[in-house]
């Protein structure tokens, strides 16, 4: 019997060409991997393998993992509702609605919310959120300088709130234990040694997270409106 004839290898010229790498293509692939495998599994090596290239090739387009996370987060910020329902007329109500939507988006993408504390996104969706908030502050007559500083505080609080909530959601049992321990400490605080705690022990733990967040944003907005910049 004749030996089987080896199949000739295809030359490089006959193989289908790989799609050219682009920044948008890299980010889109990263977003898909986060959706299927989670942010913790996303590395430059894993992303490069998905794109059939080497990690070094990615650094031509993305400086580091932190920049990649910021780009992915910016994609998800496209989910922020920037146009509250038409029945919401007051600029403060509209501003709070956008901030709550921003917070909810970060809660849905908790791992990226943590990276947003140190790496601020700067893509088109983040800029759209920023422009919307600044326009609403201007509509309320907030001086430009105060709005420019104030919007940074509003987004910091929203981001920190989302991170805190996502951590609590991951460990519900521990959260319940902590809440119970705090409640017990408040209940046993002596009137003489802790008179203000004793007087306000119920108020200190009152209100739903939604109510408290709404109040927090309104309190900050009022402070931004009323507090002049010194420089």
Q: Please tell me the predicted confidence (pLDDT) of residue 229.
A: 92
Instruction: Report CA Rg, the chain.
Output: 25
pLDDT, tens digit only, all 231 positions of the chain? 555 555 555 554 555 566 789 999 999 999 999 999 988 889 999 999 999 999 999 999 999 988 999 999 999 999 999 986 666 679 999 999 999 999 999 998 888 888 788 777 889 999 999 999 999 999 999 999 999 999 999 999 999 999 888 777 766 655 667 778 888 888 888 788 999 998 998 999 899 999 999 999 999 999 999 999 988
Q: How many CA atoms lie within 13 A of 194 on its CB side?
A: 10
Residue 176: count other Cβ atoms within 10 Å of its Cβ: 11
Q: How far is it, in rounded angstroms, from Cα 78 to Cα 129?
A: 9
Instruction: Classify 23-62 by CATH class.
Output: mainly alpha
Which fold, 78-226?
Answer: Tetracycline Repressor; domain 2 (1.10.357)
Q: Please tell me the predicted confidence (pLDDT) of residue 164.
A: 87
Q: Which long-range contacts (CB under 8 A, 24 or more apart) does 76-84 make?
A: 76/31, 76/105, 76/108, 76/109, 76/112, 76/125, 77/102, 77/105, 77/121, 77/123, 77/125, 77/126, 77/128, 77/129, 78/125, 79/105, 79/108, 80/105, 80/125, 80/128, 80/129, 82/128, 82/129, 82/132
Contacts of 176 (CB under 8 A, 6+ apart): none
- Determine phi and psi for 121, rounding to 5 degrees: -65, 155
Q: How far is it, in rounded angstroms, from Cα 113 to Cα 38?
A: 13
* CA angle, residues 152, 154, 158, in degrees to nearest 5: 115
Give the residue extent of every domain in the chain. 23-62, 78-226
């Amino acid at each position: 019997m004749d030996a089987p004839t080896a199949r000739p290898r295809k030359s490089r010229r006959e193989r289908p060409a790989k799609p050219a790498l682009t920044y948008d293509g890299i980010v889109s692939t990263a977003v898909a991997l986060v959706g299927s495998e989670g942010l913790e599994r996303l590395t430059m090596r894993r992303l490069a393998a998905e794109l059939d290239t080497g990690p070094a090739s990615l650094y031509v387009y993305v400086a580091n993992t932190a920049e990649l996370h910021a780009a992915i987060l910016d994609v998800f910020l496209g989910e922020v509702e920037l146009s509250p329902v038409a029945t919401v007329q007051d600029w403060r109500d509209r501003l709070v609605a956008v901030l709550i939507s921003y917070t909810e988006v970060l809660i849905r993408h908790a791992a990226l919310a943590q990276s947003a504390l140190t790496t601020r996104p700067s893509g088109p969706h983040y800029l759209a959120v920023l422009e919307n908030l600044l326009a609403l502050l201007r509509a309320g007559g907030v001086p430009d300088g105060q709005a420019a500083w104030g919007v940074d505080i509003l987004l910091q609080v929203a981001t920190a709130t989302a991170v805190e909530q996502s951590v609590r959601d991951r460990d519900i049992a521990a959260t319940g234990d902590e809440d119970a321990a705090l409640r017990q400490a408040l209940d046993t605080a002596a009137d003489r040694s802790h008179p203000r705690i004793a007087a306000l022990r119920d108020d200190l733990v009152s209100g739903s997270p939604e109510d408290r967040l709404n109040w927090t944003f309104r309190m900050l907005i009022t402070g931004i409106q009323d507090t002049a910049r010194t420089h």
